[in-house]
Amino acid sequence: MSDHPIRVVTVDDHPFVREGIRHVVNDAGDMTFAGEAADGQQALTLLRSCAADVVLLDISMPGRSGFDLLAQIRKEFPGLKVLMLSMHEEQQFAVRALKCGAAGFLSKHIHPGELLAAVRHVVSGRKYITPTLAEALAQLAGDGDNPAPHELLSNREFETLIKLASGKRPVDIASELSLSIKTVSQYRTRLLAKMKLRHNGELMHYAITHGLIDCAPAA
């Protein structure tokens, strides 16, 4: 067991999320809040200047995605544990996070006690995998050499797919991710081509039938 409190850093572009995590961590007793960042560049600057044991990393951030930042963190800080956070509860996000090297995946809707339990779990050297996620991973392994079309998408393309399937317009996605509308449109064109789909209607139907979103998007 470490002789110092578990040092936690959070990376999220929403100030209220960072503040909430700060209070939860500092009230835990065996943890300390080591710092916070609102985007990828701030996160790397922070991690290069402070000691941390666990990073709570949001998947959907403006500019550089959480998946891209995860890859950079694992390259620069191979011993650092990263728990990915998301507003999305879809297991496909969780599966991708683990495949990219995350120590676990958490929905932002979880109880604070579960967040603390997950932090303690990954610090002990284990992956934090819920029973539902374990089932999704087992199903993925069973698919063998026949991955579903959406599994061939890049992380940013997949994120765009989920947002489009949830009924968001390219202009809204561009605003959320701090990307140009042209870039979002390029992601859309590429993902439709890779998945052999023709338009957003087919994309939405695919996402629903493959369990990528929990329900039909709002009109």
Four-residue CA torsion sign, 8, 9, 12, 15: positive
Least Cα distance to 177 among 162, 199, 190 occurs for 162
pLDDT band at 214 (very low <50, low <70, confident <90, very high): low
| Alpha helices (H) along 48-179 | 66-76, 91-99, 112-123, 131-142, 155-165, 170-177
Asked if CATH classification 3.40.50.2300 holds for the domain at 6-139, the reply, yes or no, is yes
Residues 6+ apart with CB under 8 A from 115: 21, 24, 56, 106
**What is the per-residue pLDDT for 139?**
66
Q: Are 105 and 133 in contact (CB under 8 A)?
A: yes
pLDDT at 218 over 80: no
Average pLDDT rounded to a whole number, residues 36-53: 93
Poorest-confidence range of 62-76, 82-96, 101-115, 161-175?
82-96
pLDDT at 142 over 90: no
Average pLDDT rounded to a whole number, residues 37-49: 93
Domain spanning 149-209 has what CATH number? 1.10.10.10
**What is the per-residue pLDDT for 65?**
80
Q: What stretch of H or E contains 86?
A: strand 81-86
**What is the per-residue pLDDT for 32?**
96
pLDDT at 144 over 80: no
| Alpha helices (H) along the chain | 15-26, 40-47, 66-76, 91-99, 112-123, 131-142, 155-165, 170-177, 181-195, 200-209
pLDDT band at 219 (very low <50, low <70, confident <90, very high): very low
pLDDT band at 138 (very low <50, low <70, confident <90, very high): low
Between the two ends of the chain, the Cα-to-Cα distance in Å is: 52
**What is the per-residue pLDDT for 94?**
79
Structural tokens at position 202: 């087919």
Structural tokens at position 69: 């930042």
DSSP bridge partners of 139: none
The rounded distance, in Å, linking the Cα atoms of 29 and 52 is 16
Domain locations along the chain? 6-139, 149-209
Average pLDDT rounded to a whole number, residues 63-80: 88
